[in-house]
Each structure stands twice: as C-alpha cells, then as structure tokens.
Structure 1
Amino acid sequence: MAFPDLQSFMAQLEARGELVRVSVPVDRDLEITEIADRLVKSGGPAVLFEHVKGSDFPLVIGLMGTRERMALAVGEPDLDALAARVRNLMDLKAGGGLGGLLSNLPKLKDAASLPPRRVSRAPVQEVVWRGDEVDLGKLPILKCWPLDGGPFVTLPLVITKDPETGERNMGMYRMQVMGPRETGMHWQRHKTGARHLEKAKRLGQRLEVAVALGGDPALVYAATAPLPPVPGLDEFALAGYLRGARYPVVQGVTVDLDVPANAEFILEGYVDPNEAWQPEGPFGDHTGFYTLQDLYPRFHVTAITMRRDPVYPATIVGRPPMEDAYLIEASERLFLPAAQLILPEIVDYHMPPAGVAHNLVVVSIRKHFPGHAYKVAQGLLGLGQMMFAKVVVVVDEGVRVTDLAGVWREVAQKAVPGRDTLTTRGPIDVLDHSSRAWSYGGKLIIDATSKFPEEAGQAVMSRDDAATALTEGFSVAQAAELPVVPGVVAQRQTDDGYWFVSVAKTVAGQASVVAEALAASEAARGVRHLLLTDEFTDVQDLQDVWWTILNNVDAERDVRVVGDLLVWDGTRKLPEEGFSRAWPEKIVMDPQVRAKVEARWHLYGLRDEWR
C-alpha cells in the first residue's frame, strides 16, 4: 500500500492502534526523548505530541519504530517480502521469443516508475517564510540527550546536486541548530554531500541545499538507504519504485533543486564552501555513545516552505535498540538480492542492533571449498557501505543469522582462536570512537563454518563432537572458583564458552594484566572468548556486553589470542596507551528527566506496559 504523504501514513497507523496522541504539553528538551526511548524499547506505538512547548506545530516520532511499521512504510506485508520484490525486478528474462518479452512487461512497468514527476503546485509550498520570517526556533526541534551541543534536526532529507553532472543526492545527516537561520551540516568524509561541496569549492560557487522534513514514508526510508552507484538510481527513484508510482517533486522557491511536493516542511538555503567550518556537537549518536565536538560546514536557511497544517517529524538515536534498527533491517532485505547477485553463495545476512549497523555483520553461506568463508567476507567488505563493517562472522547456511546468542554459540564451537580468525584493515565509520585512526582501523573476520580437512589441521571435529567437548571443558571451568583480580568489578561465565568481565580501568595496560591473569587461571579451561568491558556494562546482559565490546574495540589492536582464548579488550583506551583522541561517554538520560516522565506517565495517556 502506497501513502501519498506522511499524514496519511499517520492516519493509517492510528486506525491500526499503532499511533497515539499525547495532548498535554511536553518539553522538546529531553522529555520527548525519554518518552520515545521507552516506547521504542517496549515495542510501543508512534506518538503525535499535539502540544510541544514553545512551538505551534505538533511533533510525531517513532513512525517506523517496529518491524511491522517499517514493512508498512515500504508497502510490504513484511520485510522479507521486500527482498523478494527486488529479486523479481532483477530477474528480467532474456530470449524466449515474444512470450519471453511479454513476461517482462510487469517488471519493466515497475522499472519505468522510477524517475520523479515534476509538478507545478505542491502542498509543501502552501505557506512560505522568507528573510526575517525564517526562524528555526518556531519548529519543535529536539534536544535529545543531556550532553548534546544543542537542538538537532534528526530526520532531515538533505538534497543536493552535483555541480558538474547535475546528479541528485538525498541523505540523512543530522543538523544542529546554531541560530534562527543557521544549522550545522554533518557531512562526513565518505558522504556524497561532502563530495558535492568539494566540487562546488573547486568551481568557486555556493552549494544549494534543500532539506525536506516529511514526505511519504517510502521517501523517508529511501534517504537512509545505501544506494549502489547505478546511473539513474537515486533516492527519489527508489521511493518511486517502493510506492509504485513516479515521485512528485516541485522546484524550490529560492533554490534550483527538486524537492518532494508532499513533504511537511522544506528548508531551503546554501552552504558556502569558502566559509570557515564551525564546531558541531556533541551529539548522542546511533552508536549509543556521544560523538564529540568537531568542525563541520554551516547551512544558511533562506526560506522555509510548508503545508498549511504541517506536522514536524522526528526520530531519536542512541543506545540500541532504536528506531534506526528497523531502517537498517529494511536496507538489509532490500539489498540482499544484490549481494547474492555478486556473491551467490550467500544465504542470508544480518546486522544486529548490538552492532549498530557497521560494527557486526553475520552472514550465512553455502560452503563448497576451503577458505570459502574468507572469500565471502572479504567480498562483502568491498561492497559499498559494507566497507565500514568492523567484525564479519561467517556461519553455515542452516544457522539463523538473526539469533545473536545462537551465532555466538556457533563461533565458540567452530572457530578456533587464531586458526579461524583473520585480522585486516580498512575504512571505518567516522563515528567509530575506538579505531586506530579517524575513519581507519582494524577489521576481524571469524570463520564459524564447518571445516574441511584442509582448514582444521590435525583434529577434525563434527558439530556435535565440538559441542560435547566444549560443554565438558566448561564444566571444569564452572567447577573452578572465578579468580579475584584487581580492577574486576563483575564477571560471568556462560555455558557456551564465553567469559564476560567488567573492569574499572584506571591505569594504562590494566586490561592486558587482567587478561593474562584470567587466561592463566583454572577457570579459563573450556573458555573460548574472554570479553573485557567497562565498569558500566551489565555482564548478565548479552546485548549490553556485545554492544560495548563492538563499539570499544579496534580489531587489530584490541582482539588477540592469549593461550587458548580470544581476548576482546573493550575497555576505555587511555592517552598513555597511545590513544590520542578523547574517549566519549555512553548516553545516559538525566535522572531528573527520567523521574519527571515517570511521574507524568499517567498524564500522557500511555499504557503502563510501555513505560
């Protein structure tokens, strides 16, 4: 089902009981974030806040905050159906005479719906603010987390055009409000918007920018999708394919850019490439940590256009799971057929929420020869934004890639530390705070597939034999008393070969001392992986442990074999250890805000099970 705009999607969600209204006044600073965070983590509904303090506009949040709502947004009964739809489009038949050609017609009709459609009048231009009328403070823009540098636009669809080729790009880049008519523009070094700005600078011209807030949900999703470099395929085209009709666009009133005609708001303006970059941040990011202040370009707003009765759309990011997990899953399903076209041995893949998209990729394969797992993993690392993946785990085709606990059992049973692990280097997401250098660091490939004799050395074990050996070895470990080591705050061993250890680190080299002491103890017998985390990690919580570990390791520097163990050093890295950058804080809400929301929950009209 296609939705003509965001408000029609909201109406459908409300009819299904998946959107609720909060009529009491709420604060845009932190209070909305605390409510929305509770709702997304409990599987609750989207929310329309009808009265946001300091603004005349309502705010909606959490529209794609469940797997079911995400599927509805892209017009499918479930996200797996999205992969099937794309696979069908790619499978154009050649030959077969007239009958073969005619069989392609429905697919070609889908493909023909891709280019956007220019219209002369648009709902988003019913009201126009120019000059001194422009005031971003009138919009209910959120301050999401306590240490944020200010309010941020969190769901912007940022539109630019290549100054040389005219090729369009739309991306979702956070925007910190820096004044009534100015924001930051968080164009990271690998992003298309940054390349457009570089070209504009070489040509000695400003870069025009338009920022859409809203549009139908297919377009909001498309702005986040990692599109391959295919001529004619841009975000408007993808949204057109998902909605089954050419996307309506209109020319901006002050910029020569096509903007979505059905958006709620459009911010028009420019970035001057010759202007000094400004401090932006900190920001509580999708990693669950704050990204620290850095320099980014400044966006100047020359006009704001809108509907007569617009709704301001927002999202929050932070400690997973969050709404972005479902956007990521949609991209997984959308691009699975393309990955299989290049690497046909891939059965499935998944980027678990604990890995916040780029930190962990689990891929299942049909294995045919020794080294096949490494072939697939390294092939994946060469595909588009998959280059940012930090840890790639390869499992057999019968393993469910979405079962994180099951995947790590496979790793313990089938991947011998050192023998079945491979460390390499490559590009790293610029938001990664632990990499050896900014946007460059280590990567780890783990081969957790069943082994051929050539891969297994002298001992070849079946899956059942490996599980039995591991369990027997671990029973010895559980019988031994866990050692007391200075700095260790909490520790837990699991029945599948993992040892989770929380360390209050105070001096350089402390993690190595702890690892050596634990690895040499009797309690290490039967253990395959020793995970050292910070003192704020709950060792009883598998998701919390892996989220911390995957955020805090550079695979080349921090993952090593000690004895028979693979040690993951997920502790904070210190300047004395050669780490020159500041280490960020984990995102935690202000206790006073939490108490305020708890006390007001009954006033919001929200169910107790969502709190």
Structure 2
Amino acid sequence: MAFPEIQSFMRLLEERGELVRVATPVSRELEITEIADRMVKAGGPALLFENVRGSDYPVVIGLLGTRERVALALGVSDLDDLAAKVRALIDLKGSGGVGGMLSNLPKLRDAMNLPPRRVRNAPVQQVVWRGDEVDLSKIPVLKCWPLDGGPFVTLPLVITKDPETGERNMGMYRVQVMTKNTTGMHWQRHKTGTKHLEKAKKLGQRLEVAVAIGGDPALIYAATAPLPPIPGLDEFALAGYLRGQRYPVTRGITVGLDVPANAEFILEGYVDPTEDWVVEGPFGDHTGFYTLPDLYPQFHVTAVTMREHPVYPATIVGRPPMEDAYLIEASERLFLPAAQLIIPEIVDYHMPPAGVAHNLVFVSIKKSYPGQAYKVANGLFGLGQMMFAKVIVVVDEGVQVNDFGAVWREVSARAVPGRDTLVTRGPTDVLDHSSRGWGYGGKLIIDATTKRPEEVGGAQSSREDQAGDLAPEVFTPHASADLPTFEGVLAQRQTPDGYWLVALHKTRPGQAQALAQAFAAHPAAAGIRHLLICDDQTDVENIQDVWWTILNNIDPERDVIQTGALLAWDGARKLPEEGFVRPWPPKIVMDADVVRRVDALWHLYGLPKLDGEPGTPH
C-alpha cells in the first residue's frame, strides 16, 4: 500500500487504534519528549498532540514506533517480507530462452517504479513564506532533552545536489534552529552533504539545500537507509520501489532542487561554504548520550512552504529502545539479500537496540571450514556503513540472532577469551565518544561458532577426518553465591550464563583495571567468562542497560582485556589522567521536574496506563 502523504497514514493508524489524539495543552520543550518516550518504550500507539503551546500546528510522534507500524508503512505484512522483496528483484534471470526472460517482467515493472515523477501542483506549496515572513519559531520544533542546545528538527529530509554531477542526495541530519531563519546543518565528514559542500566551495558557489518535513512514511524511512552505491538508486528511487509507484516531486520555490510534493513543510535555502561555522549542540543523541557542542555549517532559510493544514512530524532519540530501532530493523531486512550476495554463508544478522546500530552486530553463518567466522566479520566491516561496527559476534546457523540472551549464552559457552576473540582497528561512528580517536578506534570480533580441530589446537588428522570432525568442548558457566566486596562497587551480580555485572563508582585512574584483576583472582570467577564493569548510573539488574553502557563506553582495543580466564570489559568513565583527552559526555536523563509534571498530568492526556501506574518514571 502506498500512502499519498503522512496524514493518510495517520488516519489508518487511528482507525486501527494505533494513534491517539491528545487534546490537553502540552509544551514542545521536554514535555512531549517525556510522554512519547514512555509510550514508545511500552510499545504504545503513536501520539497526535493537537494543542501545542506557542504554535498553530499539531505534532505527531511515534508513527514508526513499533515493528508492525514500520511494516505497514513500507507496504509489507512483516518486515521479513522486505528481504524477499529485494531478493526477488535482484534475482533476475538472464537465461532460459523467451520463457526465462518473460519471467523477469513483473520484477522489471517494479524496478521501473524507481525514478521520481515531476508534478506541477504540489500540496506542500499551498502556503509560502518568503524573506522576512520566514519565522521558524512558528513551527513546533521540539527541544527534546534538558541539555540540548535548543530545538531540533528530528525527522528532517535534507536534500542537496552534487554541484558537478547533479546527483541528488537525501539524508536525515538533525537540524538545530538557531534564529528565525537560520539553523545548524549537522553534516559529519563522511556524509554526502559534506562532500557536496566541499565541491561547492571549490567551485566558488553556495550550496542549495532543501529540508523536507513529512512526506509519506516510505520516504522518511528511505532517508535513514544506508543505500549501496548503485547508479540511479537514491532515496526517492528506494521510496518509489517500496511504494510500488514513482515518487511525486516538485521544483522548489527558491531553490533548483526536487522536493517531495506531498511533504508537510519544506525549508528552502542555502549553505555558504565561505562562512565561519557555528556552534551546534549539545544534542541528546541516538546513542543515549549527549553529543557535545561542535562547529558545523549554517543553513540560511530563504523560504518555507507548507500545506494549508500541516502536521509537524517528529521523533525522539535517546536511551534504547527508541523508534529508530525499528527503522534499523527494516534496514537489516532490506539489505540482508545484498549482504548474502557478497558473503553467501551469512544466514541472518541483527543489530540489537542495546548496540544503538553500529556498536553491536550479531551474525549467524553456515560454517564449513576453520576461520570462517573471522572471514565473515572482516567482510562485514567492508560493507558500506557496516564499517562503523564496533563488536561483531558470529554464531552457528541454528542460533536465532534476534534472541539477545541466546547469542550471549553461545558466546559464554563457545568463545574462549583470547583464543576466540580478535581485536582490530578501523573507522568508527563520529558519535562514538569512547574511541581512541575521532572516527577511529578498536573493534572486536567474537567467534562463538562450534570449533573445528584446527581452531582449538587439536591433534592433526587426515584431511578426510578433519572435514566433518567438530570440537566437542563447551564451557559450562555457573554463578557464585559469595561475591567479593571492593572499593567503589555499588552493585554487582553474576548470571547463570557466565557474566559478572558490576556498577562501579570510579574516583581514580586505573580503578576499573585493578578491579578486574582482583575479581579475576577471586574464587567467584571460576564459573564466569565475562566481567562487565559499568558506570555508577547503570542498573545491574537490567541486562540491556548493562550492555548499552558497556558498548557505548569501550574502545575494544583499550578496554576489552583478557584477565586470567576472564574477558574484562571496562565500561566505566575514562579520565584525563588515563590519557583520554576528550570530554566525557553525560547520559541522557530527563529533568526530574518534567517527570513529576507528566506524572501529575497523565490522567488528563487520555493515554493508557503503563505498567499499571500512570506516568511511571523510567
């Protein structure tokens, strides 16, 4: 099903009980975030805030906040169907005579839906603000978290064009509102928008930019998708393929760019590459930590166009799980066939929410020779944005990669620290605050597959014997009832599957490493393979919170160390005295007054109770 625009998708969700209207007046500063955060973590409905203080426009949030809603938005009954859809398209037959060629026709018809189509009368241009009429404060842009540097557009579809080739790009780069007609433009150095700006600077010209807000859900998803470098495949083309029809675009009012004709708002303008960059941030980011202030280009808004009755769509990012986890899952399903074309032994892969996309990848393989797990992991590091992956865990084909506990049980049982773990280096996400350098750091491969004799140092045998002889060794973990007490340890527990979880109040350099050595030497370590040392804000009773903290706070080369029979993961805060010169960012935590206010008003919002108690803080 193709949705003409986001409001038709909203109507369908409301008919299905998947969207709830909130008539109570709400603030765009923090209050909407607190309400929406609780709702998405509970798997609740999307929310339409009809009365936003200081704006004439309603806010809709959480439209893609469940796996089922993302599938509906992308026109499939289940996200797994995306893989089948792509696999059918790329499996074009080039033989078999006339019959073989004719069998391709339905697939080729799908492919012909890729190019966008130009329309003259665009709903998004029914109302136009130009010049001094432009006032971004009239649009209900959210301030999401207490330490944010200001209000941020969180679902922006940022459109640019290569000044030399004319190639179009659309990306979702956050947009901080600075003044009534300027914003920051968060183009990280590896993003296509940055490359376009660099070319414009060499040519001595401004770079035209359009920021679309809204459009149909398929286009919003497409702007987040890590597209492979295929000629002619851009975000409009992907959206067209997902919709089953060519995407409608129109020419901007003040820029020579194609913009989605069915969007809610369009911000048009330019970035001048000769201008000094402006301070942008802080921003409560998808990692669950704040991205600290930095310098970025400034976007000058020359016009705003919109529908006669627009709705402002937004999302929030922060501590997982968030709405973006379901968009990431859609990308997993969509690009699985392409990954399998390049690395055919891949059975499945998954990026769990605790890893906030790049920090953790689980992959299952059909294993047939020694060392294959490392071959697959290194191959993944070479696939597009998978180069940013920090930890890759490889398991046997029978393990369900979307079962978080099952994968870590395989790691404990089958991966011997040191023997079956490999540290390497490579590019990292520039939002990774713990890496050894900006955009560069350590990576960890864990081979949790069943081992062959060559992988365990067993006796040599004939080639025929080795071909089917798998090593039987499996570690049997167990928890200890008697745990030691050491300086700074606020809470700890061991799990039956071989993990020791520790919350540490760190006050001095080297404290985590000293703790790891002391714990490794203690008898309680006998049934344990992994020691997970977290900061003092971590709930050791919540395994997702533990892994989220660990994965954000480690550079594997520096912080994942074999200590005796343990693999110690140092996820505590790093200090300047330890050679870490960059500021350590805070975790995102909502202001306590806002939490209390939402608690008190929950009964007025008309929303369902969560966990048996309205407004329960999370």
Fold shared, TM-score > 0.5 on shorter chain: yes
CA displacement 1:212-243 (0-9 Å, x = unmatched): 00000000000000000100000000000000
Q: Which amino acid aligns with 1:470?
A: T
Mapped partners of 2:336, 2:20: distance in 1: 34
Matched, 1:599 2:600: yes
Q: Post-superposition shift, 1:458?
A: 3.8
Are the counterparts in 2 of residues 24 and 51 from structure 1 also a CA contact under 8 Å? yes
Are the counterparts in 2 of residues 413 and 463 from structure 1 also a CA contact under 8 Å? no
Mapped partners of 2:184, 2:5: distance in 1: 27
Mapped partners of 1:37, 1:191: distance in 2: 28
Selected match of 1:470 from 476, 484, 488: 476
Q: Post-superposition shift, 1:94?
A: 1.1
CA displacement 1:87-107 (0-9 Å, x = unmatched): 001110111111111100000
Are the counterparts in 2 of residues 345 and 366 from structure 1 also a CA contact under 8 Å? yes
Q: Secondary structure at the match of 2:76?
A: coil
Mapped partners of 2:563, 2:552: distance in 1: 21
Q: Which residue number in structure 2 is paired with residue 558 of structure 1?
A: 559
CA displacement 1:393-431 (0-9 Å, x = unmatched): 000000000111110000001100000000000000000
Q: Which amino acid aligns with 2:450?
A: S
CA displacement 1:540-591 (0-9 Å, x = unmatched): 1110000000000001010010101101000000000000000000000011
Mapped partners of 1:37, 1:124: distance in 2: 29
CA displacement 1:471-516 (0-9 Å, x = unmatched): 4xx2xx515x211111111111011111011110011111111111
Q: Which residue number in structure 2 is paired with residue 497 of structure 1?
A: 498
**Long gaps (5+) in structure 2:** 460-465
Q: Which residue number in structure 2 is paired with residue 226 of structure 1?
A: 226
Mapped partners of 1:575, 1:202: distance in 2: 39
Q: Which amino acid aligns with 1:317?
A: V
In percent, how many aligned pairs have the same letter?
75
Are the counterparts in 1 of residues 451 and 470 from structure 2 also a CA contact under 8 Å? no
Mapped partners of 1:401, 1:306: distance in 2: 43
Q: Which residue number in structure 1 is paired with residue 97 of structure 2?
A: 97
CA displacement 1:323-344 (0-9 Å, x = unmatched): 0000000000000000000001
Q: Which residue number in structure 2 is paired with residue 582 of structure 1?
A: 583
Mapped partners of 1:553, 1:124: distance in 2: 45
TM-score, structure 1 as length reference: 0.98
Q: Which amino acid aligns with 1:478?
A: S
Are the counterparts in 2 of residues 414 and 463 from structure 1 also a CA contact under 8 Å? no
Mapped partners of 1:409, 1:204: distance in 2: 57
Q: Which residue number in structure 1 is paired with residue 411 of structure 2?
A: 411
Q: Which residue number in structure 2 is paired with residue 359 of structure 1?
A: 359
Q: Secondary structure at the match of 1:223?
A: helix
Mapped partners of 1:366, 1:464: distance in 2: 16
Q: Which residue number in structure 1 is paired with residue 463 of structure 2?
A: none
Are the counterparts in 2 of residues 503 and 534 from structure 1 also a CA contact under 8 Å? yes
Mapped partners of 2:353, 2:398: distance in 1: 21
Mapped partners of 1:91, 1:134: distance in 2: 49
Q: How many aligned residue pairs are there?
A: 604
Mapped partners of 1:105, 1:463: distance in 2: 46
Q: Which residue number in structure 2 is paired with residue 538 of structure 1?
A: 539
Q: Which residue number in structure 1 is paired with residue 511 of structure 2?
A: 510
Are the counterparts in 1 of residues 412 and 530 from structure 2 also a CA contact under 8 Å? yes
- Superposed, 1:257-276 pairs within 5 Å as 257-276=257-276
Q: Post-superposition shift, 1:463?
A: 9.9
Are the counterparts in 2 of residues 156 and 173 from structure 1 also a CA contact under 8 Å? yes
Mapped partners of 1:520, 1:98: distance in 2: 72
Q: Secondary structure at the match of 1:94?
A: coil
Are the counterparts in 1 of residues 450 and 471 from structure 2 also a CA contact under 8 Å? no
Structure 1 segments (4+ residues) deviating >3 Å: 462-467
Q: Secondary structure at the match of 1:39?
A: helix
Q: Report the aligned-residue RMSD.
A: 1.3
Q: Which residue number in structure 1 is paired with residue 85 of structure 2?
A: 85
Q: Which amino acid aligns with 2:607?
A: L
Q: Secondary structure at the match of 1:603?
A: helix
Q: Secondary structure at the match of 1:441?
A: strand
TM-score, structure 2 as length reference: 0.97
Q: Post-superposition shift, 1:607?
A: 0.9
Q: Secondary structure at the match of 2:229?
A: coil
Q: Which residue number in structure 2 is paired with residue 35 of structure 1?
A: 35
Are the counterparts in 2 of residues 79 and 330 from structure 1 also a CA contact under 8 Å? yes
Q: Which amino acid aligns with 1:196?
A: H
Mapped partners of 2:514, 2:458: distance in 1: 32
